[in-house]
Amino acid sequence: MHTHHSAAQPLTKYGLSALALLAGALLALMIHCNSRLAAYGNPLTASWLAHAIGMLAALLLWKTQRRARPGIDRPPRWAYLGGVPGALVVALAAITVNSPLAMSGTLALGMAGQMLFGLLSDRFGLFGMPRRPLRLNDALALPLVLSGCAVLIFGA
């Protein structure tokens, strides 16, 4: 089975945590930009434009990277479909950020959804992820985050 950590192995748990925190902040910035764009048109147009610009940015980054040797460790075909949920995330977040949920409610519930998918992926090995048994802290984390979402959205 292919390991998912080959590029990140030199990083410590703290370094990886910092990268994950940065990714979350960038996700929040992306959602903010896309929701502002959607406010001037519609969520589908914002999603299309965001992905077109993202494609150009990814192309520039890709051009700076070393190329892997062809034929080694080819990804499964379904792995190319990541843009489909990405487009839905952009469109749905553009709708919810421009609603009473606002940015904080959208991000909090989005994080809860990511945690739920992560827990299910770990437990059942979805989409080729290695299976990992759930621990007590896993069982406690999601209800605590959902409680925080409720406080954030509905007040104390």
**Widest pairwise Cα distance in the chain:** 56
The pLDDT tens digits for 39-79 are 888 888 888 898 899 999 999 999 998 776 666 778 888 88
More confident residue, 90 or 150: 150
- In this predicted structure, the answer to whether residue 127 has a pLDDT above a threshold of 90 is no
| Two tokens, residue 7 | 């590029």
Q: Which amino acid is at 13?
A: K
pTM of the model: 0.76
pLDDT band for 1, please (50, 70, 90 cuts): very low
Rounded CA gap, 33 and 35, in Å?
6
Q: Are 115 and 146 in contact (CB under 8 A)?
A: no
Average pLDDT, the chain: 87
